[in-house]
Chains A and B, each alone.
Chain A
Amino acid sequence: MHMPDALLSPAVAVPAIAVSGAALAFACRRAARELDDRKIPLMGVLGAFVFAAQMINLPLVIIPGVSWHLIGAVLMVSLLGPYSSFVVMTAVLAIQALLLGDGGLLALGCNTLNMGVISCFLGYGVYSAIGSWAGGARGRTLAAIAAAVVSSTAAAVAAAIEIHLSGKNPVSLFSAVWLMGSVHFLFGIGEGVLTVAVLAFILRLRPAAVQGGAQVQRAAMRRFVLAGLGVSLLIGGVVSWWASSSPDGLEHAAAVFKWPEGESAFGGLMQPVEKALASVPFLANALIGLTATALAFAVSLMLSGLAARRSAASKAA
């Protein structure tokens, strides 16, 4: 899902670079403050680990010959917490773009937004919210699967929206969101199950590694996470209500925002597919809502982190 430069327009790529850059600067500061410089080699070497783990190919049992692999974002989040794992995942994306040409240089902002900000911050939010609610091994299982499914779907939907906003979407926004979202929903389930199994293995052999980052921060962050989740669910709910309240939510949205609409969105090849999809409009609306929630949540998490730091600083002073 690494987007190349060719699929994005500057009007989308540049704001994404600004947002991702700010998120990176912020996460670096937080990660540096939270732990000693022991953390730096650990983060770098874990980035190499993510890279190497992505090379362990697994059979997609349903379709022989096709393989898939772990992405590793939720695994990193559950081991390192949101800030460090965001730095690690961004480093992996940057190496892939700089060294291998996998994902464009200008598109790095968008790719970081989708696979870093959304995967790590939203994934962490879901993981810690469900983990602290359910607790224990069962809670961790549920939390990791939910985090993987939500962040994988939201990242794919965000990518589809970015391509559409760039005017490079060959089908309608509706179809693109639906296609990308549903495929990555399934990938997310696989990712979640595999993450749970890996976590269980690591917990059995080396529990100290897991207790390091995430659990210490979780207690302090829980309040902010729950507040952020509440706010962003509200926003997401409003957006998806608005999207579904008009006769054809997405087309209406496109008209309002004057999005570059793919010519003949409902013609030709996609027509039968779109007709079938249009019979279940709530699915696409739910996906849009989910993505809006994701972005809102990531932003509110960062803001609440900032607020926490401010209040801690004023207490110290």
Chain B
Amino acid sequence: MHLPAPRGPLSDRVVTALRRDSDPFRGRALDLGAYLPASDGLRDEDFQLALWVLYELHYRGFDGVDDRAEWDPELLRGRAELETVLERDLRAATADLLATVGDEDGDVVEQIRQLIDAADGPDVPRFVQREATRDQFVDLMVQRSIYTLKESDPSSFVLPRVDGSVKVALAELQYDEYGGGRPERLHAALFAKAMEACGLESEYGFYIDHATAPTLALNNTASFLCLHRRLRGAALGHLAAFEATSTLPCRKIASGIQRLGLGEAVWDYFDEHVEADAVHEEVALRSICAAAVAAEPALRSDVLFGAAACLVIDAVVAEDMLTRWRPEPLEAAAAMSHQVSA
């Protein structure tokens, strides 16, 4: 994929370093310190893009960038500086939600479900089901494409960091995500087909310049948790919250797709996730998270942190999306749709 266009000093420094011909940048510090956000990095697009570019070196890389950049010590040092800020802001953003369950002993499955019930944010799937326009749905696909064209790839980094029944259950879930032995059912490939059916480009990373700060933050959070062994519990909790908040939303989105008449391939991706994620929810909660905490009780607070991080970022993404889609206040929008239908 192409290197994205920088959006400020942090992403400019990272992209410029990667654009230089192979060796010259090696050994040269990125000097990001002066530009790090003092707070709320979750909504800072320059910060999120800089980190996203550095993470992407671990996935597919960029056209014209030396693959060895993945392990360039100065790039890793810069990544660590950005990650310190991301973790600070994730901890701050999840504190209130985590306070609703505490982290004392008990059923971790119930605790994650309590977090899900306590988390709030606007209901994008319901909006898609009832009133989103075709253009708004296309925007949803564009934003989701940043993650979904590599759907489940972050979680694969966690496999060598867990063992026993947790590893087996995670592999089982990933096998299903990866098509269950059928390349045409690879979830990322189903999503690519859905994008094409919407008239979008399905090339990996094509829409990176359109990705909003929350979209990048959602992707970075998954990479951050999954690439750090110390946070493996959080990576598992994140996965469980993600899967456990997918089935019913995908049903609503699939019904919105039918309302908009977007066709079989678009519907198929979301319909597949109604059934798949009903399975994955139980596997992730019980066979993965509960089993991981049973084997290693110290992981409980990390599992809950990861689940809360997923839910909080989802809410930030949803809020951003509905604000862009519906700039007028809710009451005015409701009154307008009433007039139109009357």
A binds B: no
Seen from chain A, the residues whose Cβ lies within 8 Å of a Cβ on chain B are none
